[in-house]
A = this chain, B = another copy of it.
Amino acid sequence: MASQSGPEAAEEHTSGADIQSFFDSAPPLKNSLEITDKLKEFLDKNSIPTRDGRANRVVCVTSGGTTVPLEQRCVRYIDNFSSGHRGAASTEYFLKAGYAVIFLYRRGTCQPFCRSLPDDPFLECFKFIDKSHVKVREPHSEAVKMAISDHHNVIEKGLLLKLPFTTIFEYLQMLQMVATSLSVLGPHAMFYLAAAVSDFYVPWKSMAEHKIQSGSGPLDMSLVQVPKMLAVLRKEWAPFAYCISFKLETDKNILLKKADMALSKYKMHVVVANELLTRKEEVVVVTGDGKVSVCRDKTQVDSDVEDPLIKLLVEKHSIHLEDSCS
């Protein structure tokens, strides 16, 4: 299993034609009208300046992994693993910092305010005490109350818009819709791209229509590289927004090198570098000014690395806003 040349060569080749060909090959998004309406309603509410005259800040947090279908009538697909924990936690801290959040997430992954629940909270957290009265089982009562109340609170106030995706095709089409909508906010919009996006895909038209048959020999597959959309997001979709992308590697020796490369190649404002095994303890915030390591507060049992990370990013966003307005 190997790609045919090094990563440097890779990213040189992303062109407008590659991107057009990716979107042309994508199956049309089923609920695009509904998404357009939801985005409009969300922006109508959250683009009005606050009482003290400050413009609202809006962040699009992407979360979870995308899938790549291998067959048109989809039975098999390649998936990128991501629990969505980072995106869910970060959404909570952005809301706390006063941002309105568009949470673009993979169906079935971790949801904001639901991180301390057991695996199957619906079946594990409740019991009926008689025919019509339900009760929360101990020891879950505090976690359940927080999850349900805090979640409904931000949804009802219109501060959190949740948009689910599954495939790489859905994800990139939805990201484009969100980005072109948010572009009206100029530098007040932020992108926090924590989703684990597939690097390779099978173009829809060259995909097997029916289920691939198993045979005696090995299965040989050839996947094409997904064009890098970060550059297009920065240049065309939302050119004034503050953009943060993530780099996850299992090999720490190449991590910072790849983070630097992403920063310069895609003109990101920040790249957050994280290593698979230590990602809940420490991340490195890479900007044009240098690298800052951010760690979880180890004196607290339940602390999150996203707490200091979002604080730092909000500060950097404020500086970006001052620079943009001066």
User: CA of A10 to CA of B214 in the docked complex: distance in angstroms?
Assistant: 7
User: CA of A67 to CA of B135 in the docked complex: distance in angstroms?
Assistant: 36
Contact with B along A71-97 (1 / 0, CB 8 A): 101111111110000000000000000
Kindly state whether residue A311 has any CB partner on chain B within 8 Å: no
Kindly state whether residue A33 has any CB partner on chain B within 8 Å: no
Nearest CB to that of A6 among chain B residues? B215
B residues less than 8 Å from A214 (CB atoms): 3, 7, 10, 199-200, 225
B residues less than 8 Å from A78 (CB atoms): 70, 76-79
A219 touches B222 (CB 8 A): yes
Contact with B along A295-306 (1 / 0, CB 8 A): 000000000000
Nearest CB to that of A155 among chain B residues? B123
Residue in B9, B77, B122, B200 whose CB lies within 8 Å of A219: B200
B residues less than 8 Å from A221 (CB atoms): 1, 219-223
B residues less than 8 Å from A230 (CB atoms): none
Q: Which of A45-53, A144-152, A313-321 contacts B (4 or more CB under 8 A)?
A: A144-152
Kindly state whether residue A36 has any CB partner on chain B within 8 Å: no
Number of copies: 2
Residue in B4, B71, B79 whose CB lies within 8 Å of A217: B4
Residue in B13, B80, B212, B219 whose CB lies within 8 Å of A75: B80
User: CA of A213 to CA of B254 in the docked complex: distance in angstroms?
Assistant: 10
Kindly state whether residue A27 has any CB partner on chain B within 8 Å: no
**Closest Cβ of chain B: how far from A113's Cβ, in Å?**
9
Q: Can you add 11 more A-B contacts, CB < 8 Å, to A123-B151, A128-B148?
A: A1-B70, A4-B215, A9-B215, A107-B119, A200-B219, A210-B251, A211-B249, A219-B223, A219-B225, A220-B223, A221-B221
